[in-house]
Amino acid sequence: LPSDQEGAQVEPLPVDLAANALSLGAHVIECHSVAEVIAALQTAKSIDRTVVIHAPDDRYLGVPGYESWWDVPVAEVSESDSVNAAREEWEEMRALERYFL
């Protein structure tokens, strides 16, 4: 994807992923809401071939905040101050992890 600095003149990805999946023989279900995705998942269970659930999104439309943390390690060794700071933050957050299984 193009960077945000390129602005509104940037064209979207020139591939229609739903049409491409259809051309490969997949059953395509278009979804534009959470309810449609839930319904599509149920429908997909009854289809006897590959199913693609196509849910276009807007990369600039965010989701509300939530209290969670993704445990994705940051490089342990780096010459970059920002990477080292991110690693330190990751180690602090990792120490707070709890397993509930």
Could you tell me how many residues make up the chain? Answer: 101
> How confident is the model at residue 60, as a pLDDT?
76
Does one domain contain both 47 and 76? no
In the prediction, which pLDDT does 91 show? 95
Tell me the Cα Rg of the chain: 20
Task: Give the domain range for residue 16.
Answer: 12-54
The pLDDT confidence band at residue 68, using thresholds 50, 70 and 90, is confident
Yes or no: say if 18 and 52 are a contact pair by the CB < 8 Å rule.
Answer: yes
Residues 50 and 16 in one domain: yes
pLDDT at 30: 97
pTM, full prediction: 0.53
70 and 96 part of one domain: yes
Contact yes or no for 69/94 (Cβ under 8 A): no
Q: Which two tokens stand for residue 69?
A: 């943390």
